[in-house]
């Protein structure tokens, strides 16, 4: 258990830009490299939770996709990733299977569809929205396909024989309907606002409300932190526009207001 806690804790440090020279040997080469705007290989073959052979591209085409690279028997970190994901998604008005899809892929080639099915049952129970059954996919696959997808999204992991576990970083990736990498969110907790904005941008703003479009104007994705932060210049511009509009509205109201009358109904200006 101590070894497991150590691996999980050290892996989390990768998200704080710790230099590789400071990392334990077991974590060398582990991390997430951003591959923004790159397209993942949609022709890769995996197995879904029923054991059926599926092509990755089957989950793309019309909706953005959230990809979580985990492994189902991970003692800690992967469970935290999936727990954080479902917690964030429950806070959204968007639903899995309606506005977007979710793909969880085990990067342990020894894991089975039965493990994937058990994990799916757990998280469908936690999410509690009917559309998720057809929109949240738990996959397994052979080592070659797993490595190709992991490489495509910049997810670097390694197997530790001493503990019989994988050392890996924590995060999720948002992809466009065409399979292009749009956003990365790091860690094990994902702000619902960030995930919502990431999905809207990945969908080319075809989902969301006018308020969301305003939010996208005021917030910009920061590639260094994997979060949305205030776009200060845009906020200043927006403030200026609102000030001008308020002044114009005041002038129009003043000009169109009828003259005030005294108690006798005679205009004060004529008394």
Hey, what are 207's tokens? 């989902």
- Domains annotated for the chain, with CATH where assigned, are 2-192+199-205 (3.40.30.10), 209-255 (no CATH)
Torsion of CA 122, 141, 47, 72, to 10 degrees: -10
Read off the pLDDT of residues 13-55 as tens digits, 9 standing for 90 and up: 444 444 444 656 656 789 999 999 999 999 999 999 999 999 9
Read off the pLDDT of residues 215-224 as tens digits, 9 standing for 90 and up: 767 877 888 8
Q: How many Å is the Cα radius of gyration of the chain?
A: 25
Instruction: Measure the CA–CA gap between 197 and 183, rounded to whole angstroms.
Output: 10
Residue 244: is its pLDDT beyond 50?
A: no
Average pLDDT over residues 148-156: 98
Share of the chain above pLDDT 90, in %: 63
Return mean pLDDT, the chain: 83
Return the pLDDT at 192: 97
The C-alpha angle with vertex 87 and arms to 81 and 88, in degrees rounded to 5, equals 90
């Amino acid at each position: 258990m101590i070894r497991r806690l150590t691996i999980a804790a050290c892996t989390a440090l990768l998200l704080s830009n710790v230099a590789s020279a400071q990392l334990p040997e077991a974590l060398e080469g582990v991390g997430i490299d951003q591959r923004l705007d790159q397209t993942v290989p949609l022709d890769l073959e995996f197995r879904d939770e029923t054991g059926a052979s599926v092509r990755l591209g089957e989950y793309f085409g019309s909706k953005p996709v959230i990809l979580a690279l985990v492994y189902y028997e991970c003692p800690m970190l992967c469970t935290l990733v999936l727990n954080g994901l479902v917690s964030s998604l429950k806070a959204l008005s968007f639903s899995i299977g309606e506005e977007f899809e979710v793909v969880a892929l085990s990067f342990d080639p020894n894991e089975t569809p039965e493990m994937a099915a058990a994990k799916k049952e757990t998280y469908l129970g936690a999410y509690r929205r009917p559309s998720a059954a057809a929109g949240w996919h738990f996959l397994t696959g052979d080592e070659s396909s797993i490595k190709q997808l992991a490489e495509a999204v910049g997810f670097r992991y390694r197997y530790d024989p001493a503990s019989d576990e994988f050392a890996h970083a924590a995060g999720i990736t948002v992809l466009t309907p065409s399979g292009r990498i749009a956003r990365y969110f790091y860690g094990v907790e994902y702000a619902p606002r960030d995930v919502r904005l990431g999905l809207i941008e990945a969908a080319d703003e075809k989902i969301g409300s006018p308020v969301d479009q305003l939010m996208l104007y005021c917030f910009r994705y920061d590639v260094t932190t994997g979060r949305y932060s205030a776009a200060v210049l845009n906020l200043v511009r927006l403030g200026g526009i609102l000030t001008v509009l308020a002044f114009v509205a005041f002038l129009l109201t003043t000009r169109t207001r009828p003259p005030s009358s005294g108690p006798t109904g005679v205009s004060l200006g004529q008394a």
